[in-house]
Amino acid sequence: MTVSSHKSGGRDQWTGPLEHEPDDPLAATWNALDEVLDPEMPISLVELGLVYGLELEDGVVRVALTFTATACPCMEFIREDIRDRLEVESWIERVEIEEVWSPPWTTERITPEGRAKLKRFGVTA
């Protein structure tokens, strides 16, 4: 697997590419994306509620993504992590990321699983 220069936290937990194309490529893409962690917290972008949508068509993945703040210092790291994780999969040729700011992100978007993980680390949301 080729990685970007920054090697953000959580990459060591990625499962890597699947050996065979999955029966449900969209679900497998969601699962792969769920491995991408926020660089500042031990929680996935999906669990944090930053992924507003995911489409897969003809090998192109379109990720609708927001951030916790418009000046988030980790925006480029997050984009690179998404591309690096998804583009190693055989059914994915390209990843396009669309930044979404409406509706704005709030802690209400954090999944129950994400809240449980944050709580274990002493963070309440």
pLDDT along the chain (125 residues), means of 10: 53 86 96 93 93 97 95 90 96 97 95 94 84
Please tell me the chain's helix, strand, coil percentages from 3-state DSSP, rounded to the nearest 5: 30, 15, 50
First to last CA, the chain: 34
Q: What is the pLDDT of residue 8?
A: 60
Domains of the chain: 24-120 (3.30.300.130)
Q: What is the pLDDT of residue 2?
A: 46
φ, ψ dihedrals at 101, nearest 5°: -115, -5
Q: Report d(CA 43, CA 34) in Å as an integer.
A: 9
Q: What is the pLDDT of residue 58?
A: 96
CA 93 to chain centre: 17
Q: What is the pLDDT of residue 40?
A: 84
Q: What is the pLDDT of residue 125?
A: 77
